[in-house]
Amino acid sequence: MRELIFRWLETGTRESNSGGLNNTIRISNFVGLFYATLIGVPFIIITFIFVRTLVWVPIGGTAMFLMILPFNHIELYRTSRIVLSLAPITLANIYSAYLLEEGQDLPESLALIVGCFVVMPFSLFEWADRKYGCILAGLGGVTYLLQPVYAGWFHLDTSIDLSIFESGPLRVIVAALALLCMGGLLLTLVYRNSVLENKWS
């Protein structure tokens, strides 16, 4: 299993690439696998149980996370990072918009997960490509801030009681997923920082 994970993380790395690019590829592979398995799959299960009509959203998000591997394998490195930056926040905003009535706020744990997706581009782009990270994070931030505006555009056949995300076992599960989301983001930033320190030491 460990060997398989290592091979997945190395997907798309090439000896002809610079060390910085290979490290960025490893980070994007890690982010894709981490969020697909530890965030995407649990949200598919949660949504299937509580909001079945929206289950296509986490399924689509999980598929987008896993698409990073074939993108990197065929050397579409920048494309993979752009997809990884835009797809999760777009789908998370659609998911949230369906859940919310106009004027409602997201439960804190869900808002934290969406917030992690907003800043994700900063961990995916190396310093030389920082303009892409800033632009994509900015786009994600704008769509997040505009959530109250377009929340009324998306409607479910039945209304959802958001209190299920704020009390009981589901609150604990979603809070744990939010912490995992933050943990994955911090791991990528720590790894990138350690690589930079080794480069300049």
* Total Cβ atoms within 10 A of residue 49: 10
| Whole-structure pTM value | 0.83
CA distance 82 to 121: 8
Task: Return the structure tokens found at 26.
Answer: 């490893």
Question: Is the pLDDT higher at 201 or at 129?
Answer: 129
- Region 110-139: what's the mean pLDDT? 83
Query: Mind listing the pLDDT tens digit for each residue in 52-93?
Result: 888 999 999 999 999 999 999 998 888 888 888 888 888 888
Structural domain boundaries of the chain?
Answer: 2-10+19-196
What pLDDT is attached to residue 22? 85
Cβ atoms of residues 12 and 73 within 8 Å: yes
pLDDT in the model for residue 74: 92
Percent of the chain predicted with pLDDT > 70: 88
Residues 6 or more apart whose Cβ sits within 8 Å of residue 77: 12, 21, 24, 25, 28, 71
Tell me the per-residue pLDDT of 147-187, one tens digit each, with 9 for 90 and over.
777 766 766 666 666 677 777 788 888 888 888 888 888 88
Q: How confident is the model at residue 102 (pLDDT cuts 50, 70, 90)?
A: low
Q: Which of 108, 64, 69, 71 is nearest to 90 (CA)?
A: 64
- Predicted pLDDT at 45: 94
